[in-house]
Amino acid sequence: MNTVHLPKIDFSKNLKFIRRFSLALLLILGFTLRIWNVNWDEGAHQHPDERYWSMVAEDITWSGVGNYFDSSDSSLNPYNHRDTWVYGTLPLFITKATSHYLEKDTPISNTIVEGAETLGIDLEEQITISDGDIIKTTSI
């Protein structure tokens, strides 16, 4: 009976490559599952959590520093507008400030919005009438 000797593989030399390849494969798989054939919001391009985040960001308003510390009456308190909010207020305030800045008609904000549009990220709201003519275009 003949004995077959298999070559011994030293994985310690290739461990760094295997880890990096596995991480890249995992990221590609996660990205693919995130964007492939997903229609959570019927064409609005938002996950339900993202939609809820945008609704709360739309609800809050800045009404001054004094009002901020009165949480029962503060217009910046998400609980005064919705039943729940689990994401923290700092990211919400940053999102609100960023969207408020991008709504302004300044050269920098217009450049950012136009750059996102060229990448396929729709940041402009188009209101159309029944015959298909665009009657208003605004940055969101």
What tens digit of pLDDT does each residue of 50-81 get? Answer: 888 888 998 998 877 778 888 888 888 899 89
Angle at 95 between CA 90 and CA 97, to 5 degrees: 95
Closest CA to 51 of 37, 41, 38: 41
* CB-based contact 76:93 (threshold 8 Å): yes
Each residue's pLDDT tens digit, 89-109: 899 999 888 888 888 778 888
Chain segment 34-57, per-residue pLDDT in tens:
777 666 666 666 777 888 888 899
CA-nearest of 92, 24, 83 to 57 is 92
Q: Which amino acid is at 25?
A: L
Q: Which residues of 15-51 are buried (b: 16+ CB within 10 A; e: fewer)?
A: eeeeeeeeeeeeeeeeeeeeeeeeeeeeeeeeeeeee
